[in-house]
Amino acid sequence: MTTRLLPGDRAPGLRLSRLFNQRQPLFEVTFNRLSAVVLWNAGCAGCLPAVGEIAELGAVQNVPCYGVAVMVRDIERTAAAAEMGSQKAIMALEERPSAVSGLARGWVTRHWLEASGQPGLPAAFLIDGRGVIAWMGDPAEIRDVLPALANGTWDIEAARERWRAAVSDDEIAQLRIVRDVTDALVGGQVTTARELIAGAERQTPSIISDPQFNVLKLQVLAALPDCEAGAVSHYVVAATRFPEDERFQSSLAAIIVANFHKNTTALRTVIDHLSVFDARSADGADSPPDGSMQVWRWLFLAEAQALAGLNEDASVQLKQIATLLHSDDLPERARRRVASEIARITGRMEPLTQRPREPYEA
């Protein structure tokens, strides 16, 4: 059974390594009155505003707010961000990992964020005066929950069952596995990442239904020496498993075009799977695509076509992408990057006279 955190469980406690905005020694947090904990990171645009809103609300109702920075890789940047945050919150840094951790997953990350099954930041918790988790979720919901907690009408058991139904044990396990593998990859421990993937597939077979796990597995296989056949085999299966997920298909394609320039089987699978989204849109089968995602999908498609020797197709695709450089849908910074990618891919294309076009059926 996966160890997890639910409403109704005793709060794990806050293990902190630094206070950012308090002129006092580090202290042990005691939840002896209704309190809020909001987890944040300096790389999350919406995090500090969320901490500030909860701190302001808590100040009115005598509810202390702890804004705990998690997965921090640049401590001084985080400290500077905390100084710009609400002075009504206690801004702190989680206890740092003692072992090498590419994602800097500290004690609070593992025992609060990952144990609760919240996939991203900000993530919030309300703890009652007994030290019991009363609620967890999106900080925006706290405004509606606090009054019920304050007047004693909040049903913790109902909150527990809602959260258990919303996030399964398998999802908690998968989240941790994905984080473990990502951690190893970011830290350059590719062999460890491979062992984690193999163990996960044995112990949690449902992990194969997680798109992010499939992307990570391809990244790991692509990074290992003498593993091209296994990587391509996994790619073909994974791409077929999630045919309608445009973001997933683009993520897989990016790994293939970056690592397997000469593998025609993989490149043509990329072309097949990325082209199908345009065919669906033309038939009116799909809702309007995400403009940014569409641009990057087209870039990966063009590069796969160029690498496969389909220069005419790649040229047509690049011209189509170029028309978007004048679109207001793309910010200026994105337009510059797309223009740079067009130039890079164009530079990779061999003249048609040097490389005969191979027969190809999409």
Per-residue model confidence as pLDDT tens digits over 296-321:
999 999 999 999 999 999 999 999 99
β-strands 65-69, 35-40 pairing: parallel
Digit-coded pLDDT (tens) for 38-96:
999 999 999 999 999 999 999 999 999 999 999 999 999 999 999 988 999 999 999 98
At 355, phi and psi to the nearest 5?
A: -140, 105
- Which segments of the chain are extended strands (E)? 16-19, 35-40, 65-69, 90-94, 123-127, 133-137
- Predicted TM-score (pTM) of this structure: 0.81
Which residues have a Cβ under 8 Å from the Cβ of 324 and sit 6 or more positions away?
291, 295, 330, 338
Distance CA 345, CA 311 (A): 10
190 or 1, greater pLDDT: 190
The identity of residue 352, as a single letter, is: L
Q: Which domains does the chain have, with CATH numbers?
A: 16-166 (3.40.30.10), 226-348 (no CATH)
